[in-house]
Amino acid sequence: MATFTKHSEDDEGLPHATKKTMADHLRKFEALFNMTPQRMRMIVEAFKESLEQGLAKNGQIVPMIPTYVFGWPSGKETGMYLAVDLGGTNLRVCLVKLEGGGKFEITQAKYRLSEEQKQEDGQRLFDFCAECLKAFIDSHQESGLIPKDEVLPLGFTFSYPCSQERIDHGVLIRWTKGFGAPNTEGHDVVEMFRKALAKNSVPASVVALTCDTTGTLIASHYVNPKTRIACIFGTGCNAAYMERVRDIPKIAELGIDPDTEMAINCEWGAFDSFEHENLPRTKYDQIIDETSNKPGEQAFEKLISGRYLGEILRLIICELIDEGVLFLGQNTYKIEIPYSLDTAFLSLMESDPTDELLMIIGIFSHFFALETTLAERQFFRALAKLVARRAARLSACGIAAIVSKMGYLEEGCAVGADGSLYNKYPKFADRIHEGLQDIFGEKGKNIVTYHAEDGSGIGSAIVAAMTKERKDANIYPNY
């Protein structure tokens, strides 16, 4: 069997595509993935229309879920609150001491969830949550951090699709993130958690159920009152913002003062699902959609989330392998495995500043046993940039739709953003800002994204504090 060593452009041991061939292909992909400002503005208009439809009626593509979080935090919220976040990998328990003035202290612990726990009976899952919370409280009562004989209010972060009729209630519509615990879908998860708390004699009272995006909105505004929107750009994507009740026709019959504001959990990853009329889907996006576990759904998410960007690049590479352009004479089976090229690899490709693009050499040789030339490495980096830039510009379209709908452009606003893509992918935030300026012109500079506060910990606690204050004051106590 022949062995190949690294070689220069002048002394190639394998047949390789020329620089000119790679440049010709790159031009083709630039035409596919580039988005003009005009196209972006058209997407923004369609996005706005979808947001309006979701507010008007139930059962729309973008569901626009009312959260029963009324208005912004005052920043004066004080006291001790518990926060529990049932995530995809861990159970997180926090003790948050709100000190007012946008200040807080947080103490937390994480408990790993086993794959078995995600699939066993739902009540047993909530029993485990209660047991972990009890252990956390007991240890901090011993240290004197939590007073004994005190029942603390608790904010519960549960980022799975729920229908809510009030803030301390949520019927699970369907599990996501690999969970499949039976006897939970169609049940009120707050009631199940309360049952587990009572069984384990846990001195905590669930006052609010929220999702991580709504928590991020509230936590970010508590620290930075210019915040009007919160977004998550990670494995999934979502946004939340504050809407006037008079502009949420589907809850008109609740009799809430039309001037009151309520946080809306957009669940905007579903934008343009099923019909696919507005987003610029390439054949690679269509393959990802058709081979996914939910074809036709989450159309926006499939173009911009960290779960899919690496796969888009991998599909392009595989097509060029099939066309006899790349890796001739090499064994390419490893890169032909779906989802083997992680989005983290793309971020490494873009972060490597060296002329020889050493990071890309390492990725392809170590993970896929493939040799690359300089022309190929430059092509891969340019391709990674095209895919990630499109994702960021589409993310800007989502933000712009809310900004435009709410009239925030003139005065400007801050957008609290979180998630692995926003936090870790080089230039992702810069490309969102560039996209906003392409949509709005110079005024786009008035919309600034920044790294958000912790929504599932601090945000959840602040929501609990706001809810307790509201109900103590007898303001919409039934919601």
Residues annotated as catalytic (active site), given as ranges = 159, 174, 212
| Bridge partners for 396 per DSSP | none
Q: How far is residue 216's CA from residue 230's CA, in Å, rounded to a whole number? A: 6
Closest CA to 266 of 93, 130, 65, 72: 65
- For the beta carbon of residue 81, count every other beta carbon within 10 angstroms: 27
State how far the Cα of 395 lies from the Cα of 168, in Å rounded to an integer. 31
CB 267 within 8 A of CB 237: no
> Strand 413-418 relative to strand 227-233: parallel, antiparallel, unpaired?
parallel
Which residues lie closer than 8 Å to 99 by C-beta, 6 or more apart?
78, 105
Long-range contacts of 122-128 (CB under 8 A, 24+ apart): 122/181, 122/182, 122/183, 122/184, 122/187, 122/192, 123/183, 123/192, 123/195, 123/196, 124/181, 125/181, 125/184, 126/189, 126/192, 126/193, 126/195, 126/196, 127/196, 127/199, 127/200, 128/91
DSSP assignment letter at 113: P
Report the b/e string of 388-419 with b at 16+ CB within 10 A: bbbbbbbbbbbbbbbbbbbebbeeebbbbbbb
